[in-house]
Amino acid sequence: MKLEIDTEANAVKVDGKTLDLYSDEAFSVLSDLWVRVGWNQKYSYSFSWLGVPIIQLPEDMIRYQEAVWELQPDVIVETGVAHGGSAVFSASLCRLMGKGRVIAVDIEIRPHNRKRIEEHPFSDLITLIEGSSTDASVVENIRSQINPGEKVLVVLDSDHSYKHVMDELEAYSSLVTVGSWIVATDGLMQDLTDAPRGRGDWDVDNPAKAARDFAAQNPQFKIEPPAWPFNESTLSKNITHWPDAWLRRTG
Ligand SMILES: C[S@@+](CC[C@H](N)C(=O)[O-])C[C@H]1O[C@@H](n2cnc3c(N)ncnc32)[C@H](O)[C@@H]1O
């Protein structure tokens, strides 16, 4: 892509096409590029939530918060704990809402990360499970902790390979309540094949493709990101690391 930004003429030229700088289309082009460069520069590795590092784009955290508030889940299942920031983020929403708890699984929970999570004021709302998210005993352990009738939201943020995400979708989708979502995060990989930190095969080996293929094979799920509850702009497109991530269970 060839991009020229002229702040004196208020114009953005994209591959020869000129856009008004102050247009939704120009904002979309600029934000896509900002997300891409920011991903490469590890912008999402520069935040913490209530003292715990969280590896997310803040835009995704805010949109996620909107969905959690709308949904009011009883249980949030998360794969991929890392330092624990997303588990603490979800637990903090549960505490504020006065309902819900988090079950979080990671193949390796390092002792210092476990300690920080277990000593956190919201640790009473978090159950940590160590093991591979697709291990049958891990899935069964999680299933056994969910009571009949509880509203369940699932967020997949572990191994982002197509196969692993597809296996997770198959293992966890039956836990998801009708009306809720299973979220296959970090599909942005599909657009990063030629970024310096990207990989050439990510055009096919990525979570977004797994989510799309899963939806095609499972008509009770459809790709449907949460609607914006508030929007006084003319914008409608998420700025996100999670394209095609939100699989809503409709039946
Ligand atoms: C991107 S990080 C998670 C970030 C975290 N959700 C956050 O927002 O801060 C991915 C994590 O997935 C874990 N992981 C990788 N393969 C896994 C697997 N098969 N099962 C469970 N966790 C896995 C890694 O150990 C790593 O901690």
Closest ligand 1 atom to residue 164 Cα is 19
- Cα separation, 81 vs 173, in Å, equals 19
Q: How far is the CA of 159 from the centre of ligand 1 (A)?
A: 6
Label residues 203-231 b or e (16+ Cβ within 10 Å = b): eebbbbbbbbebbeeeeebebebbeeeee
The whole-model pTM stands at: 0.98
Q: How confident is the model at residue 169 (pLDDT cuts 50, 70, 90)?
A: very high
Instruction: Give residue 57's pLDDT.
Output: 98
User: Phi and psi for 76 in degrees, rounded to 5?
Assistant: -115, 120
pLDDT at position 55: 98
C-alpha distances in angstroms, 111 versus 74, 82, 84, 132?
28, 11, 12, 17
**Atom 19 of ligand 1: nearest residue by CA position:** 132
In a mutational test of the pocket of ligand 1, which residue from 106, 113, 169, 183 has the highest number of ligand atoms less than 8 Å from its CB?
Answer: 106
Integer Cα distance of 242 and 189 in angstroms = 9
The strand pair at 47-49 and 246-249 is best described as unpaired
Query: What would the mean pLDDT of 56-85 be, rounded to a whole number?
Result: 98
Q: In the predicted model, what is the mean pLDDT of the chain?
A: 98
Q: Report CA(248)–ligand 1 centroid distance (Å).
A: 22
Residue nearest to atom 20 of ligand 1 (CA): 132
Could you tell me if 17 and 46 are in contact, meaning their C-beta atoms sit under 8 angstroms apart? no
pLDDT tier at 90 (50, 70, 90 boundaries)?
very high
Contacts for 248 with CB less than 8 Å, ≥ 6 apart: 179, 180, 181, 221, 222, 223, 224
- Indicate which atom in ligand 1 lies nearest the CA of residue 89: 8
Pocket test for ligand 1, best of 64, 129, 157 (most atoms within 8 A of CB): 157
Q: Which atom of ligand 1 is nearest to the CA of 132?
A: 20
Interval between CA 215 and ligand 1 midpoint (Å): 23
Residue carrying structure tokens 């476990």: 114
| Any ligand 1 atom below 6 A from CB of 205 | no
Chain segment 197-234, per-residue pLDDT in tens: 999 999 999 999 999 999 999 999 999 999 999 999 99
Dist. CA 56–CA 85, nearest whole Å: 9
Sign of the CA dihedral running 93, 98, 100, 102: positive
pLDDT, tens digit, 9 for 90 and up, residues 133-157: 999 999 999 999 999 999 999 999 9
Query: Do 148 and 75 meet the contact criterion of CB atoms below 8 Å apart?
Result: no
* pLDDT at residue number 214: 98
Q: What is the pLDDT of residue 103?
A: 99
Residue nearest to atom 16 of ligand 1 (CA): 159
Task: Give the pLDDT confidence of 7-30 residue by residue, as tens digits.
Answer: 999 999 999 999 999 999 999 999
Report the pLDDT value the prediction gives residue 224, as an integer from 0 to 100: 98
Ligand 1 near 44 CB (within 6 A) = no
* Dihedral class, residue 137 (left if φ above 0, else alpha if ψ from -120 to 50, else beta): alpha
Spacing of C-alpha 106 from chain mean position: 16
Return the pLDDT at 236: 97
Pairing between strand 246-249 and 221-223?
antiparallel
pLDDT at 162: 98
pLDDT value of residue 174: 98
Pairing type for strands 152-156 and 181-184 reads parallel
What Å distances lie between residue 65 and 68, 71, 74, 232, CA to CA?
A: 5, 10, 14, 19
- Tens-digit pLDDT profile for residues 75-85: 999 999 999 99
C-alpha of residue 107 to centroid of ligand 1, in Å: 7
Q: Based on C-alpha coordinates, what's the Rg of the chain?
A: 19
